[in-house]
Amino acid sequence: MQRVRVESFSVSVDGFGAGPDQSPEEPLGVGGKALHRWAFTTRTFRRMFGQDGGETGADDRFAARGFENVGAWVLGRNMFGPVRGPWPDESWKGWWGDTPPYHCPVFVLTHHPRPPLEMDGGTVFHFVTDGFVAALRQAKVAARGKDVRVGGGVSTIQQGLRAGLIDELHIAISPVLLGGGERLFDGVDLVSLGYECAEQVGTPHATHVVLRRKA
Amino acid sequence: MQRVRVESFSVSVDGFGAGPDQSPEEPLGVGGKALHRWAFTTRTFRRMFGQDGGETGADDRFAARGFENVGAWVLGRNMFGPVRGPWPDESWKGWWGDTPPYHCPVFVLTHHPRPPLEMDGGTVFHFVTDGFVAALRQAKVAARGKDVRVGGGVSTIQQGLRAGLIDELHIAISPVLLGGGERLFDGVDLVSLGYECAEQVGTPHATHVVLRRKA
């Protein structure tokens, strides 16, 4: 059965999925990079960026499973780039260079239309102007039976949770404080929405928590 | 140097230190008991309640250190009992029976005066009507050079954090969702207040996080 999954989404001990004062220089907000330290210890992420080595324990197991059986992605606009408002031209092609690590269709939420963008390695960015639910519907078709991964950010995930459209959510609690920014679970009542904590695994780098929507 | 510590304070994955709809029957709110499951696996807590056995790993290490070098406590009113408003009489003597597990002076925040209450085993409950800072001041004197432990609940801890009066905070993130209730870090900017994450240790039962105020 096709599922909708959030994977490897990092939050701070104080609950923030991005730091305060996001800008082109600090796309994850001030201090936000430290959220992802666990991921960059793993073999999975190092390989993705052309590096050798990396650890192969529980952190890597969670990083790797995040890419398994994924046929399409949904991303919020800020995950794709720092451009706000209408696209000034088509020069911005994402944070990831010519060969993004998706290798499948990626549906980017935006208020401003733009033609699809085909990258090397099988990634095609589609720009969706009619909201999360519409983007998810298109992603489900494009995934051809595989799962859809919702990449983030916080606002995009919250839309999915509130609509009851996310089946499973893996978060990594990193041993950092951010003090401010976007809180992942602000205004979201996970119990009323039917989620339960299915798994919690701690490593020296992060605590991995799997939340699952009860059938 | 005398320190002010929060110890073994349990929160859910969604950040709540107590569940919704607190009542005399559910002093920790609906679902709140599950927050403390990790503690009741430990030898330290089992002994405290006259039971044999219990685990001796990292959970127990954190439970035990919470009682080391503690000379006095500060507790919010709801931690002491379910009575709201003026004390109808002096029959309520806390949740813990004749011999509470404190064995030292305990300063209880309340808006309603009441004479001190001496229990078996060295615990004396003092009722403080002029706020957290005053209670902490009295507790520091009563502790005679030992540390003061702030027991909770959420509102009491938040008062201490915002006033910059808590030196160290051990929280245990339990693998449960509560959906609502009191969020420990709501409206508290730990970074601006000078805290950093000093330690994070995961066990199958909980993730232990130590936050410390930078010197």
Position B19 scores a pLDDT of 84
In angstroms, rounded to a whole number, what is the distance separating the alpha carbons of residues A69 and B21?
41
DSSP-based three-state secondary structure for B39:
helix
Residue B24 has pLDDT above 80, yes or no: no
Residue-range domains of chain A with CATH: 4-18+26-82+98-213 (3.40.430.10)
Residue A178 has pLDDT above 90, yes or no: yes
Both structure tokens of B31: 């679902």
Region A150-172: what's the mean pLDDT? 96
CA distance B208 to chain A (A): 9
Position B26 confidence tier, pLDDT thresholds 50, 70, 90:
confident
* Complex ipTM value: 0.89
Residue type, A143: A
Chain A residue whose CA is closest to B191 = A179
Show which residues on chain A lie within 8 Å of chain B, measured between beta carbons.
13-15, 31, 171, 173, 175-180, 183, 185, 188-193, 195-197, 199-204, 207, 209, 211
- Cβ separation of B202 and A199 shorter than 8 Å? no
Listed in sequence order, the residues at least 6 apart from A32 whose beta carbon sits closer than 8 Å to its beta carbon are: A18, A19, A22, A26, A178, A181
A207 neighbors B205 (Cβ within 8 angstroms): no
Region B87-102: what's the mean pLDDT? 92
Tell which residue, A151, A10, A140, A136, has the closest CA to residue A67: A151
Position B154 confidence tier, pLDDT thresholds 50, 70, 90:
very high
Q: Model confidence over A75-134: pLDDT tens digits? A: 999 899 888 899 999 999 998 999 999 999 999 999 999 999 999 999 999 999 999 999
Q: Model confidence over A33-85: pLDDT tens digits? A: 899 999 999 999 999 888 999 999 999 999 999 999 999 999 999 899 888 89
Residue A187 has pLDDT above 80, yes or no: yes
Region A166-177: what's the mean pLDDT? 97
Average pLDDT, chain A: 94
DSSP-based three-state secondary structure for A211:
strand
Q: Model confidence over A20-36: pLDDT tens digits? A: 887 778 878 888 889 99
Position B160 confidence tier, pLDDT thresholds 50, 70, 90:
very high
Of the partner residues B175, B201, B204, the one whose CB lies closest to the CB of residue A209 = B175
**Would you give the DSSP letter of residue B165?**
-
Position A26 scores a pLDDT of 81
